[in-house]
Amino acid sequence: MLALTELRGNFKIILLGLYLCLLSGCEHLGFYNQAVTGHLGIMLSSQPVSTVLDDPQTPKALRQQLQLSEKILQHAETRLLLDVGSKYARYVQLPGDYVVWNVFAAQPLQMQARTWCYPIAGCAPYRGYYAKEDALAFAQKYQRLGFETYVGGVSAYSTLGWFNDPILSSFIDYSPLSLARLLFHELAHSKVWVPGSAAFNESFASFVGRQGALEWSQSVKLDKPLAYKRWLGQSAQWRIFKDFALRSKADLAAIYADKERGPRAIMLTRQKYLAHIQVCYQENRESLGGGRYDKLMSDHFNNAFLVSLGTYEDYLPAFQQLFDRVKGNWAEFYVEVAQLAELPTLERQSALAQLVQSAANGPEMDESGEQQVAANADNNNAKQVQCQALSDHGLD
């Protein structure tokens, strides 16, 4: 039987569902129903990590990863000053590789995400579903409305402190540093959250995850800086491909901004550019993942996919600047971040832009990860893959 505290937690989920329904007038009852029942289903299928560890049938690899997660969480609470409490004290074996599927949508001639607003989290440039088929059906609805869509799987999410998030099978087998970064990232969401500001929230959490993983690697018996370098190297292919995609995003945004040419001319230029970028991808295929992203390029390289990028690191240099200013003192860092969070939207954006500019005038990111500032998160590693200019292909 579930413990009393667990029953209270499940009752809280039901109350939250009723609350959301009342606020929305049940207009989006189907969406909130799947969100509430999806999370409730996960919690009902969870079991205490201690039970899994005590079970002799638990695979050795899973036991080791759960023990590792406990050490990471202890570091999060004692060194990074994150609020762990009873979070990640339960484990869930999911039926698939992802826990949630996010849907992104954008108009064909606009590099701007469709946003959806929620009573607690605020507005976000995506809508999440626990079942892939529900996500695909929602994406198809927007395709019929003339939008381009992209559906991406998510390994973890945060309930922003409303519930005690569990450890999921979708991420428990991550490498030590990747697991640490993910747990620190998700815990950071409960520390500071600004409703409706995805770039701020995700950049802050990404910084905490990355910096926390670096410090954790230096506190345990890994190969210290070498382990961190290897970890960065493992994700190098994605970083290079992401930069390639972000520069394509910037080029397309510039094409769409040229309103003097009219929609038909803009659409033609867009089509030529997309063909051009496919050629560039093939020419640089080995540098861009060696075929790892072939399906994404052939099936999903559209505005919706491109607007899904960038959010997680748009303001990463700004948070690095703040961290450097307080000389790596986490308590003071959170105070600075909280003060930013309390500013009106335009003032906060201005302050973040100034911090990013300050970072641009400082040292660039090195491979050890200890200097994480850069001129603009969208342009990191821009020199690694170069395509011919649009004018070389008669596209301007």
Residue 14 pLDDT level (bands cut at 50, 70, 90): very low
Q: pLDDT digit string (tens) for 232-244? A: 665 677 888 988 9
Q: pLDDT digit string (tens) for 18-47? A: 444 444 444 466 677 888 888 888 988 999
**CB of 304 closer than 8 Å to CB of 104:** yes
pTM score: 0.80
Q: In what order do the strands lie in the sheet with 127-129?
A: 127-129, 100-106, 148-154
Q: Which helix (H) or strand (E) is 290 found in, with range?
A: none
Q: pLDDT digit string (tens) for 206-215? A: 999 999 998 9
- Going from the C-alpha of 266 to that of each of 59, 246, 252, 392, the distances in angstroms are 56, 19, 10, 18
Q: pLDDT digit string (tens) for 45-81? A: 999 999 999 999 999 999 999 999 999 999 999 999 9
Percentage of the chain surpassing pLDDT 90? 60
Average pLDDT over residues 208-230: 77
Average pLDDT over residues 296-312: 88
